[in-house]
């Protein structure tokens, strides 16, 4: 993993255009730096993103023969940044199918106090409920839209990734990986 982490760090450092101070960003801007489609950068990253092993896991979870990649995305939680509010990812995927899945892979060992992802159990069965970008509004919308959902949010637990789950992540609270912003 060290090898790919370094390759991904290098690409993110090169491609990052976020220069705003944390206090000048909105909730979404505070949540993470994000760089799309690293597979286009070089053959090393292409081999990582297009790995047959990852594709097989996705295909098995979906119960299909093969998968296509919609995009890849590097998300970097910055020191002093904010949490990622509750949301569903469907807003970002204009696809007319529920045969979609996200593969989320931490590049560092993570502990509970490092802004880990959280998922609400069984919400992949509820469909697309939150037509909102990741924001304070997506969280408010979700919490006010259904008592069942609110109950589940309050009792949220991490679980296997499947879409359309409701997801949230805390702020990143350690000083690791600070080179991108200092
Ligand atoms: O890492 C984060 O802050 C959020 C990531 C997320 O919500 C996602 O990948 O869908």
| Ligand 1 pocket member 169 (CB < 6 A) | yes
Confidence of residue 169 (pLDDT cuts 50, 70, 90): low
Using a 6 Å cutoff on CB, does residue 93 contact ligand 1?
A: no
Q: Determine the Cα–Cα distance for residues 51 and 47; give it in Å rounded to an integer.
A: 6
Residue 116 has pLDDT above 90, yes or no: no
The answer to whether 133 and 28 have CB atoms below 8 angstroms apart is: yes
Q: Ligand 1 pocket, 89 CB below 6 A?
A: yes
pLDDT at 61 (0 to 100): 93
The pLDDT of residue 152 is: 60
Q: How many domains does the chain have?
A: 1
Is residue 139 situated within a structural domain?
yes
The residue to mutate among 70, 117, 118, 171, having the most atoms of ligand 1 within 8 angstroms of its beta carbon, is 117
pLDDT of residue 40: 97
Q: Which two tokens stand for residue 52?
A: 């047959």
User: Range of 158's domain?
Assistant: 2-175
Higher pLDDT, 115 or 120: 120
Q: What is the pTM of this model?
A: 0.78
**Position in ligand 1 atom list of the atom nearest CA 83:** 3
- Six token digits for residue 7: 């390759």
Within-domain flag for 151: yes
Residues 125-144: pLDDT tens digits? 778 888 899 999 988 887 77
Strand pairing report for 167-169 and 117-119: antiparallel
Q: What are the φ and ψ backbone dihedral angles of 133, each rounded to 5 degrees?
A: -65, 160
Q: Is the CB of 167 under 6 A from ligand 1?
A: yes
68 located within any domain: yes
Q: How far apart are CA 4 and CA 2, in angstroms?
A: 6
pLDDT digits (tens, 9 = 90+) for 148-159: 666 666 554 333
Ligand 1 centroid to residue 87 C-alpha, Å: 9
pLDDT tens sequence across 30-73? 999 999 999 999 999 999 999 999 999 999 999 999 999 999 99
32 lines ligand 1 (CB under 6 A): yes
Question: Of 40-49, 117-126, 172-181, which has the strongest mean pLDDT?
Answer: 40-49
Indicate whether 181 pLDDT > 60: no
Sheet of 117-119, strands arranged across: 84-87, 167-169, 117-119
């Amino acid at each position: 993993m060290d090898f790919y982490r370094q390759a991904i760090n290098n690409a993110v450092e090169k491609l990052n255009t976020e220069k705003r101070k944390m206090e000048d960003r909105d909730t979404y801007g505070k949540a993470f730096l994000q760089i799309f489609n690293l597979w286009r950068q070089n053959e090393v990253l292409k081999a990582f993103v297009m790995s047959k092993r990852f594709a097989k896991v996705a295909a098995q979870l979906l119960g299909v023969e093969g998968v296509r990649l919609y995009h890849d995305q590097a998300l970097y939680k910055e020191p002093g940044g904010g949490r990622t509010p509750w949301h569903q990812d469907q807003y970002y995927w204009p696809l007319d199918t529920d045969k979609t899945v996200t593969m989320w892979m931490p590049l560092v060992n993570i502990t509970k106090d490092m802004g880990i992802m959280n998922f609400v159990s069984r919400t992949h069965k509820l469909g697309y409920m939150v037509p909102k970008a990741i924001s304070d509004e997506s969280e408010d919308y979700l919490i006010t839209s259904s008592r069942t959902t609110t109950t589940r949010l309050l009792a949220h637990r991490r679980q296997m990734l499947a879409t359309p789950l409701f997801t949230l992540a805390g702020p990143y609270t350690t000083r690791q990986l600070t080179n991108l912003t200092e």
